[in-house]
Amino acid sequence: MNKTISLMKRIQTPKLRKAVVLTLLLLTAWVVGSTAQDEPTDEELLQAMDFARFGAFFTIAQSEAQGGIVTMEIVAQRPEGGSEATIQILWKLFDENDFRFRVEYITPEELAGDVFLVTPEEVFFWNPDLLSPIKVNGQFEVFGDATVAEVVGIFFNGSYTIENRESVTLEDGRPGIQLDLSAVAEFVAFQKAQVTADFETLQPVNLKLFDESGDLLHDNTFESYTAFDNGPLFEKQLLDNRIVPVNQTLLDLSDFIAFAHEDDVFNPAALGN
């Protein structure tokens, strides 16, 4: 209870605080069998699932740092052999739900200098061979089959509406909940998605991503979760390419720290200057 009170006090922005409170209310109500919270609104459910997967971002965003650095290992698994990359994701909260991200490569050496900048509605790519950054789609691949959207994280609330929800049984027998999602705007990288989560924790265990015609592109499995500064955080995510079924890409979060970035770090016009 003390940890819960401490966490809630730290969340100062109303929208972010609401996500934390809703998550706690939903989990508490469902665990004890309360009917009052059995049917949360779509917004409440999407907010709660965002926090259950990226809670550390929300809590750190309300600290003095307002941002951080994520180190991620990416392993592209292919029948002919694998390849690896190490990236850092710099991120900062600018205004309520306005998270911005900068993806940089540590390895391999040939990708050093390549940069992705992600704003709520746009993605920019830059490397030293370009005169200026170019706009790309969130489906642009960072390494292996892992897209920009999957690497920085797909936030549900504000990007999707729920078309259908139903109770399901997970592979290990636990009760689950499954949501069919539809994008709210064209800038959302994947126009349709289906998320399956643990019924009690609301942590997604699987995320299927489709194109606008309904064809399955990527099938993501969240293999494990960790926690940082009182906030949950996904740790390992396995991406199955359903267009080329023999291809898999593993995202492994190896480090997460709070860090105060200057605003220009996330300014496309400042790239290369």
Coil, strand, or helix at residue 11? coil
Predicted local distance difference test score (pLDDT) of residue 175: 97
Cis peptide before 108 (omega within 30 of 0): yes
pTM: 0.86
pLDDT in tens, the chain (273 residues): 223 223 333 333 445 555 455 455 555 454 444 344 467 899 999 999 999 999 999 999 988 999 999 999 999 999 888 999 999 999 999 987 789 999 999 999 999 999 999 998 899 999 999 999 999 999 999 999 999 999 999 999 999 999 999 999 999 999 999 999 999 999 999 999 999 999 999 999 999 999 989 999 999 999 999 998 779 999 999 999 999 999 999 999 999 999 999 999 999 999 877
CB 2 within 8 A of CB 10: no
Q: Rounded to whole angstroms, what are the CA distances from 180 to 91, 196, 200?
A: 28, 9, 19
Residue 183 sits at φ, ψ, to 5 deg, of -65, 150
pLDDT for 17? 52
Pairing verdict, β 123-126 and 81-95: unpaired
Which tokens in the block code for residue 167? 């109770």
CA dist., res. 268 & res. 108, Å (int): 23
Residue tagged 């979760």 (tokens): 225
φ/ψ region of 245 (left if φ > 0, alpha if ψ in -120 to 50, else beta) reads alpha
Q: Which two tokens stand for residue 30?
A: 């469902």
pLDDT of residue 124: 97
C-alpha 12/C-alpha 8 separation (Å) is 8
Phi and psi angles of residue 199, each rounded to the nearest 5 degrees, phi first: -65, -35
CA distances from residue 183 to 155, 163, 227 in whole angstroms, order as listed: 11, 10, 28
Please give the backbone phi and psi of residue 57, each rounded to the nearest 5 degrees, phi first.
-65, -45
Contact yes or no for 119/136 (Cβ under 8 A): no
